[in-house]
Homo-oligomer: A and B are copies of this chain.
Amino acid sequence: MIIVLKINISQEQKEHVIQLLEEHGLKAVVSHGVERTIVGVIGSEENVLKAKPHVEALEGVESVVRILKPFKLVSREFKKEDTVVDVRGVKIGARRVVAIAGPCSVENKKMMFEIADEVKKGGATILRGGAYKPRTSPYAFQGLGRHGLEILAEARERTGMPVCTEIMDTRDIEAFEEFADILQVGARNVQNFNLLKEVGKSKKPVLLKRGMMTTITEYLMAAEYILSNGNPNVILCERGIRTFEDMTRNTLDLSAIPLIKSLSHLPIISDPSHGTGKRDLIPPMAKASVACGADGLILEVHNCPEKALSDGAQSLYPSMFVKLMEELKPVAHAVGREI
């Protein structure tokens, strides 16, 4: 941590800064530059973390610059090797790029089974489907709830594919423990810290989506909540951030993929369905995702998008999914992976 002092700081204020650092067990290295005095802070990261907000509030302090990244357990420096998350035998973060596919919402058993069969044939190895749906409008379809979870579990029995589904409420954790294989935390809940703590206490892998408004640092800190509560099996997912551009639903920030891979050992997948919101943009952006190093893709597929109760416009037809999976093979090979 570096503290930049104001030009007009008084001697008393300066001593107050140093004293406060010492109270936190930190050592101050004062350096008088040509135009400014700065204070380098030496000590354990834990103490620095505690002292920082206090220093920032002091009179005479112009700014406080953090030198170290605030995340620990999720960082490459803490753990050098890539984390590979095992979901009932499907490995995420290994050489094979994983395809998670299925409808936005679980609507009924028949459609769920049909789509599950189709995506399995296409090469998906994990099934997705929402039972509890976060909807902008209270008047929109809110999902089948627990019954949706039961249908998902039946689809798993039928196809052998583990299931990934979104949890929105800390009170639902037991039901998810019973029925789901991956607990998905959605973009809107990426800083629902109580939910993060709760899935952090679970033994199930967690798919943590980046929020549409979270910086990469905040996002990794959200993952840190889960790891620090005991669950190391976190899969990250870039799903688009919010920008001024309005021709796409979000702006898929693919540079986050190689950047996060350099900062963290956790696997990261890409969601071009939400990232673009437009069916026709999904195939090219899925290819781009694999080309820049994504460990997997999560894709919305619906057998009849115009009957879908949610996200029809960004759902692939099963035939498009099959074709895309074929086209992804040479892209994966081109970067030394399989799909």
As a 0/1 sequence over residues 309 to 339 of chain A, the CB contacts with chain B under 8 angstroms (1 = contact) are 1111101000000000001001101110000
Which residues of the other chain, B, contact A170 by a CB distance below 8 angstroms? 169-171
Q: In which size bucket is the chain A interface? A: 35 or more
Nearest Cβ on chain B to A38's Cβ, whole angstroms? 6
- Whether B254 pairs with A243 at a CB distance below 8 angstroms is no
Which residues of the other chain, B, contact A215 by a CB distance below 8 angstroms? 244-247
Nearest Cβ on chain B to A299's Cβ, whole angstroms? 15
Q: Which 9 A-B pairs have the closest CB atoms?
A: A57-B312, A213-B213, A330-B334, A291-B291, A57-B305, A288-B288, A288-B292, A284-B292, A258-B284
As a 0/1 sequence over residues 264 to 295 of chain A, the CB contacts with chain B under 8 angstroms (1 = contact) are 00000000000110101100110111111100
Q: Nearest residue in B to A275 (C-beta to C-beta)?
A: B255
| Residue from B20, B188, B247, B334 in contact with A192 in the complex, judged by beta carbons closer than 8 Å | B188
Q: Does A146 contact B (CB under 8 A)?
A: no
Residues of A within 8 A of B (CB): 2, 4, 7, 20, 29, 31-36, 38, 40, 42-46, 49, 53-58, 65, 67-68, 70, 77, 134-140, 142, 168-171, 188-189, 191-194, 197, 211-213, 215-218, 221, 224-225, 228-229, 241-248, 251-259, 262, 275-276, 278, 280-281, 284-285, 287-293, 302, 305-313, 315, 327, 330-331, 333-335
- Whether A243 pairs with B251 at a CB distance below 8 angstroms is yes
Nearest Cβ on chain B to A313's Cβ, whole angstroms? 4
**Complexed CA–CA distance, A14 and B139 (Å):** 28
- Whether A291 pairs with B287 at a CB distance below 8 angstroms is yes
Which residues of the other chain, B, contact A46 by a CB distance below 8 angstroms? 139
A288 with B254: in contact, given A2-B38, A244-B243, A308-B53 (CB under 8 Å)? yes
| Residue from B4, B134, B229, B306 in contact with A67 in the complex, judged by beta carbons closer than 8 Å | B4
**Best-buried of A135, A139, A245 by chain B (most CB within 10 Å):** A245
Which residues of the other chain, B, contact A58 by a CB distance below 8 angstroms? 306
Which residues of the other chain, B, contact A308 by a CB distance below 8 angstroms? 53-54, 57
Which residues of the other chain, B, contact A216 by a CB distance below 8 angstroms? 245, 247
Can you report 21 A-B residue pairs in the complex whose CB atoms are below 8 A from each other?
A4-B67, A31-B42, A49-B139, A56-B312, A70-B136, A136-B221, A142-B193, A168-B192, A169-B194, A216-B245, A217-B247, A241-B244, A243-B244, A243-B251, A245-B253, A251-B251, A251-B253, A251-B255, A287-B335, A288-B291, A330-B334
